[in-house]
Structure 1
Amino acid sequence: MAEIAQYSLIGIYGGTFDPIHYGHLRIAEEVADILELHQLFFLPAGHPRLRTPPFVTGKHRVAMLQEAIRDNPRFSVDDREIKRPGETYSVESLREIRQAYEANGPVALCFITGADAFIRLPYWYHWRELFELCHLVIVNRPGSAPVNPLSDLPDELRDVCQDRWARRTNELKNSPAGLIFTASTTLLDISSTTIRNIIASGKSARYLLPESILNYI
């Protein structure tokens, strides 16, 4: 019997990163270890449709990301959504990224998203196509309940996801897309909104984000 080809896993971590902080960075580091990712790209949102526009311009959010990860060889920044005019959609970015990698051998994209965003997946643009383009990796966020695939999902989402749950990371390596994996990571109760409010009030945000990012701000 022929062996199943193993796919190299590439992480795509989307978000506004407004600004990047230790909560984001710790999740990225732990997911990269759990999945044994060859590379993880931070994908800062340009003009997301389902949330308020980022407070900080894309140029500065990209610069802060690059500064925060410059000493980690596994991490990179993909700024395609910052450069794209108009509303930006994750599915369009994943189409482009997947197309770029297809010529380089068997690769599986792992799109990292918070549990709160995953619950709202049916509101995303062309959300069903995501399962053709990538695996979904769910990470919990402070203040959000963990996803229970049997009871917590909207009916439409539960029906689509019921046979896609992966229990082991190796399952992701044996398929190019379409699976869902929940990664257990350290929950640091830090938010970009809290950081912005602290700084706006004239107080110290030290130890919530890298010192170099605080200096940049």
Structure 2
Amino acid sequence: MIGIFGGTFDPIHIGHLRLATEVAEALGLDRVQLVPAAIPPHRGEPLLDADTRLELVAESIADDPRLVLDDREHRRAGPSYTSDTLAEFAAEFPGEPLVLLMGMDAFNGLPDWHEVDRILESAHIAVATRPGARAQGTAREWLEARRATAEDLPGAAPGRIVPVEITRLDISATGLRALVDQGRSLRYLVPEPVVRHFTCG
């Protein structure tokens, strides 16, 4: 099974890497493709340009064979929609189960994503949960109707949803950007390549 973990990664941080690692371990994923969004459609202009974000992700996962940089959204023109990305993966790896990784906040917003039906038709969803995090509204209804376990995924049609409890790390890219604005250190919150970028940049 292939995990797909998209995001702006502005910047990539330890929370992203732990999420990818812990979900991969819990579900037995062969690898996780990290897919930086070149043009994120649901937020404003990133702090870091697309080339820099791509480079920092590559450097941050260079020594982890289970995590793989995927630059397809960087190469593709127009907004970086997850539905298009998953369709490309499904065409490239026919018959291979795909698992879209996301946190609970992203999952709660999933019903409003572009072409969400295509997303559910292309991949399973692994929702990284932490104590106190709860699915809400339509997302909660989907979780109740589509809930599965790791063992269910390999033989199931796409669209099953698996909650995976992970280590609680209260790190956010928004908070990190605030630290940058304040001239404060990011050390021990982000991979060393990101520390070097903001120290030397």
Would the TM-score normalized by the shorter structure come out above 0.5?
yes
Structure 1 residue 175: Cα displacement? 1.5
1:41 and 1:209 mapped to 2: Cα distance? 19
The one-letter code matched in structure 2 to 1:117 is: A
Change (3 A) 1:125 1:35: same
Structure 1 residue 182: Cα displacement? 0.6
Map of 1:89 onto structure 2: 81
Structure 1 residue 132: Cα displacement? 1.1
**SS at structure 2 position matched to 1:205:** coil
Structure 1 residue 76: Cα displacement? 0.6
Aligned Cα RMSD in Å? 1.8
Kindly indicate whether residue 170 of structure 2 is the aligned counterpart of residue 193 of structure 1.
no
1:206 and 1:46 mapped to 2: Cα distance? 25
Map of 2:122 onto structure 1: 133
The one-letter code matched in structure 2 to 1:212 is: P
Kindly indicate whether residue 158 of structure 2 is the aligned counterpart of residue 177 of structure 1.
yes
Q: Which deviates more from structure 2 when the two are superposed, residues 112-121 or residues 65-74? A: 112-121
Map of 1:31 onto structure 2: 23
Structure 1 residue 53: Cα displacement? 2.8
2:24 and 2:175 mapped to 1: Cα distance? 26
The one-letter code matched in structure 1 to 2:134 is: P
Q: Is the 8 A contact 1:114 1:141 kept in 2?
A: no
Q: Is the 8 A contact 1:12 1:40 kept in 2?
A: yes
**SS at structure 2 position matched to 1:52:** coil
Kindly indicate whether residue 137 of structure 2 is the aligned counterpart of residue 153 of structure 1.
yes
2:174 and 2:57 mapped to 1: Cα distance? 17
**SS at structure 2 position matched to 1:120:** helix
Kindly indicate whether residue 12 of structure 2 is the aligned counterpart of residue 11 of structure 1.
no
Specify every segment of 5 or more residues in structure 2 that has no aligned partner in the other structure, as ranges. Answer: none
**SS at structure 2 position matched to 1:216:** helix
The one-letter code matched in structure 2 to 1:111 is: L
**Sequence identity, in percent?**
37
2:54 and 2:110 mapped to 1: Cα distance? 25
Structure (1 or 2) with the greater helix fraction? 2
Aligned residues: 198
1:128 and 1:34 mapped to 2: Cα distance? 26
Q: How do 1:59-70 and structure 2 match up within 5 A?
A: 59-70=51-62
Q: In structure 1, which of residues 116, 120, 123 is the aligned counterpart of residue 109 of structure 2?
A: 120
The one-letter code matched in structure 2 to 1:213 is: V
Cα deviation code 1:145-192 (max 9, x no counterpart): 322xxxx223xx5555543111x2010112241100011001211111
1:130 and 1:47 mapped to 2: Cα distance? 18
Map of 1:4 onto structure 2: none
Map of 1:3 onto structure 2: none
**SS at structure 2 position matched to 1:107:** coil
Structure 1 residue 193: Cα displacement? 1.8
Structure 1 residue 34: Cα displacement? 0.4
1:194 and 1:141 mapped to 2: Cα distance? 18
Kindly indicate whether residue 145 of structure 2 is the aligned counterpart of residue 163 of structure 1.
yes
TM-score of the aligned structures, taking structure 1 as reference length: 0.85
Q: Is the 8 A contact 1:107 1:176 kept in 2?
A: no
**SS at structure 1 position matched to 2:146:** coil
Change (3 A) 1:39 1:182: same
TM-score of the aligned structures, taking structure 2 as reference length: 0.91
Q: Is the 8 A contact 1:113 1:137 kept in 2?
A: yes
The one-letter code matched in structure 2 to 1:82 is: H
Map of 2:36 onto structure 1: 44
